[in-house]
Structure 1
Amino acid sequence: MAKNTFREPERIAQQAQQKKQRRKLKLASWLNDFIGLDRLFGEDNSWPIRHIDRILWVTFLLIIYIGLNHNAERLVRRIQRMTVQVDELRSRETVLQADFDKSGKQSEISKRVASLGLSDSQTPPHKIVVKTHEH
């Protein structure tokens, strides 16, 4: 049977470091094989190859940043266009409301019906009074 013993903290840290290093090296070696980064940067300069994951992450963030900037500018232009349209519609509504209010006046109505041969009565209206006990 196996004997229970305490693990050494140094050994655990070394194992974690080795796993992390293997993972980084796997990505770096794959990119190096696929693209040939060692030919681009030289055999003795391995800094870009070792830090390729950080470089790709920063590149991804920059692309997202540029995309969001373009989106914001497009939205600002759309808001400006809509503001102009709203102002035009508001002014048109004000003019139509003023024309409607003016057309409902008695003087305007009498001008329109004069062509039909109708005119305002010259005598004032009569008030009809009905007593309650008469009907």
Structure 2
Amino acid sequence: MAKNTFRQPERVAKQKQQRRKLKLASWLNDAIGLDRLFGEDNAWPIQHIDRILWVTFLLILYIGLNHNAERLVRRIQRTKTQVDELRSEFTVLQADFNKSGKQSEISKRVVGLGLADSQTPPHKIVVKSDEH
């Protein structure tokens, strides 16, 4: 009679992983011919091609994110200088506007229209409450 035995799950997982690695490695080896590049006896790069590709992807991603961050910093600096220029322009325009609202400036501008300031002070008009 046959004896019941348990499967070794670790060994099964290792076999599936080995098959997957070998499948990717054999496909790349067939497509690119990596064994000719590294030699028939040196199978280390071919066996670890998935890790090599993953690290290469991470390096490309890191370089791309670094370029993006540098571009963002340059854009922030450019925006800061534009904000400073606009703030200074606003300050100058606000000072000119406040100065142009003064009575002495207004009187200088209306002289050309034939208007002049009154030399006598204004009269106060008093209205009694019963005259109303």
TM-score (normalised: structure 1) = 0.92
Q: Counterpart of 1:7?
A: 6
Q: What amino acid is aligned across from residue 55 of structure 1 in structure 2?
A: I
Q: Deviations over 1:40-74 (max 9, x none)?
A: 00000000001000000000000000000000011
Among residues 94, 98, 111, which one is paired with 1:101 in the alignment?
A: 98
Unaligned runs of 5+ in 1: none
Among residues 23, 26, 29, which one is paired with 1:29 in the alignment?
A: 26
Q: How many residues align?
A: 131
- Superposition deviation, residue 20 in structure 1: 1.1
Unaligned runs of 5+ in 2: none
Among residues 65, 68, 71, which one is paired with 2:68 in the alignment?
A: 71
Q: Counterpart of 2:84?
A: 87
Q: Summarize the Cα distance change of 1:105–1:4 in structure 2 as closer, same or farther, 3 Å threshold.
A: farther
Aligned partners of 1:60, 1:103: CA distance in 2, in Å?
64
CA-based RMSD: 1.5
Q: Counterpart of 2:59?
A: 62
Q: What amino acid is aligned across from residue 22 of structure 1 in structure 2?
A: R
Q: What amino acid is aligned across from residue 19 of structure 1 in structure 2?
A: K
Aligned partners of 2:108, 2:31: CA distance in 1, in Å?
89
- Superposition deviation, residue 12 in structure 1: 2.8
Q: What amino acid is aligned across from residue 126 of structure 1 in structure 2?
A: H
SS of residue in 2 equivalent to 1:119: coil
Q: What amino acid is aligned across from residue 96 of structure 1 in structure 2?
A: L
Q: What amino acid is aligned across from residue 71 of structure 1 in structure 2?
A: N
| Correspondences of 1:124-135 after superposition (within 5 Å) | 124-135=121-132
Aligned partners of 1:99, 1:125: CA distance in 2, in Å?
29
The percent of aligned pairs where both chains have the same amino acid is: 79
Q: Counterpart of 2:120?
A: 123
**Which consecutive aligned stretches of 4+ in structure 1 deviate over 4 angstroms post-superposition?**
3-6
Aligned partners of 1:16, 1:82: CA distance in 2, in Å?
55
Q: What amino acid is aligned across from residue 33 of structure 2 in structure 1?
A: G
